[in-house]
Amino acid sequence: MKNEKNSNPPPSAESLASFGPVDIETLARNMGRAVEEGGKALAAYLRPREDGRVKSDITEEVADAVNSIGHLAQYWLSDPQRALQAQTSLASGFMSLWTSSLQRMAGEEAKPAAEPDPKDARFRDPEWSQNQYFDLLKQAYLITSRWAEKLVHEADGLEPRLRHKADFYVRQVSAAISPSNFIATNPSLIRDTLAENGENLVRGLEMLKEDIDAGDGDLKIRQSDTSKFEVGVNLATTPGKVVFRNATMELLQYTPTTASVLKRPILICPPWINKFYVLDLTPEKSFIKWCVDQGLTVFVISWVNPDEKQRNKGFLEYMKEGPVTALDEIGKITGEKEVSAIGYCVGGTLLSVTLAWLAAKGDTRITSATLFATQVDFDKAGDLKVFADEDHIQWIEKTMAEHGYFPGSKMAAAFNMLRSQELIWPYLVNNYMRGKQPTPFDLLYWNADATRMPEKNHSFYLRNCYLENNLTRGRMVVGDETLDLKKVKIPIYELATREDHIAPPNSVFIGAQAFGGPVRYVLSGSGHIAGVVNPPARKKYQYWLGGAVAGSYEDWLEGATEHPGSWWPDWLTWLRKQAPEEVPADKRKPGGRRKPLGDAPGSYVRVKS
């Protein structure tokens, strides 16, 4: 009997007609144009491979994925009882889907067998629920992908490293095969294509060719409208000067905006994996500008975008020619013997190495340190460990041996894969199927402004940190010193971000316990970038403060207190307590008595990979 209060009605004529009329002649013409543009895109991909400029490494990548998922399959299929359990679990899900679909076809009320997460933007179009065909596709996908992920999580007998890799690759495959990624199975893509008579596909494939050309044979996905931003024009515009330059870095000093400033200057050591201006985006988001406006004397390292000339620079050279040289120059410019230092991500790892090295030398110039999303212990370093086993590192080292560096595009691709559902597939759909330019977004413009990794430095980092975890084990040797973080007794402000895919908060928490002095562990909402770049004026996210850095992260979090808004003011209060003395700002003219080498943001940051 038909339910008069049916909450899942069959698709109406209006629903089915929502895709609109089609001009068959125009559609056919555009399909021909799309095929032509697709051929151009394919040629752009093949050309640099045919002339030897690009060597395909897809075989190694696919082999690693197949090998990892193969071990997972072997685990479940090697035991008949486990195999039956896996098959029964999947069959049960599809039986529920079959039952609910039959009920819905009969006009009865039917509870979905699987529903997407409310935060999942892929299935927000009403057709995914109102049209039974698309609803069936959606639920079948959700059942299958969740089943596959469950197999990984329940593979208790699988070696942890293989299980981690299998989990990563299963999630990549799951994100890739979503019906939202294909024209024939995405209702909004069908609607757009029919409404534009295929013109969207022509535009999309033109953009695809452009992005393959921009990547010199590899697809460089555009995530932002790059025409809207320029470094030094509307990004990285905080007034300052280049006060020193060597082959490894430019040292920037920013112009004071207050009548007096803290006597003790601060030195920011950003990651060289990305460019420093993530901390100096638009003026409204700039951490550097905010610091200057709070009365701080700010120095920032801007790393060179390395080429083959830097191939033999390792951690020792980056440390000595980066933060250690910066300390020398800050002393000459300001006359100060004490500095507060900030390190971000791998810049924080280098700063931690520097702290241990200086402690071994009896050098006390850095008197407090702040670490943003920084790991010093890499046992629980998250999904990046997938790319840091012996096989992967050997492949990376082989790649670097050809040119003396690891291409920035490959590093960017690895970071994007950590959040492929947000950073890859939506842009593939929007750009190359809808044919739409992405919206301007300063953070994603910066994200795409990739840097290269020098050969010796990157190899040292991958092996000593990710592969062997030598720093917290007291086995890392830099120069003539075996480093011991317990000798670092200065106060440390340790910031982790709760949704960090690069430096997970648990990993940061474990590393915070490796230092020998007082550590203030603070947890920010959001992720690796947005959790750090969170100006107070935006009144966004939150942060947590808890007890001492001891025991487990989970126990610390359970006892922590949530505070609304940005952590920046809490950090500033902590910093001022370390050294509250102030001096007139006119004593902090950039460069002091030296003639500056140019305006901030300098020249190194403008070099494209």
Question: Which residues, at least 6 apart from 563, have a Cβ–Cβ distance to it below 8 Å?
Answer: 542, 543, 544, 545, 570
Question: At 143, which amino acid appears?
Answer: I
Q: Is the torsion defined by CA of 549, 554, 556, 560 positive or negative?
A: positive
d(CA 341, CA 368): 6
Question: Among residues 414, 360, 419, which one has the least CA distance to residue 387?
Answer: 414
Looking only at the bridges linking them, the beta strands covering 366-372 and 492-497 are parallel
Say if CB 134 and CB 127 are below 8 A apart: yes
CB environment 121-157: b (16+ within 10 A), e (fewer): ebbebebbbbbbebbbbbbbbbbbbebbeebbeebee
| Separation between Cα atoms, residue 439 and residue 229, nearest integer Å | 12
Q: How many residues does the chain have?
A: 609
Return the half-sphere exposure (C-beta side, CA atoms, 13 A cut-off) of residue 103: 16
Residue 481 falls in which region: left (phi positive, over 0), alpha (psi -120 to 50) or beta: beta
366-392 core/surface letters (b: 16 or more CB in 10 A; e: else): bebbbbbbbbbbbebbbbbbbbbbeeb
In angstroms, the Cα distances linking 403 to 190, 306, 323, 454, 455 are 45, 11, 26, 9, 8
d(CA 439, CA 223): 8
- Which positions are annotated as active-site residues? 345
Residue with tokens 């752009």: 44
Among residues 74, 116, 189, 128, which one has the least CA distance to residue 436?
189
**Closest Cα to residue 177, out of 435, 430, 501, 421?**
421
Side-chain half-sphere of 466: how many Cα atoms within 13 Å?
Answer: 22
Helix ranges (DSSP H) in 51-123: 58-77, 80-105
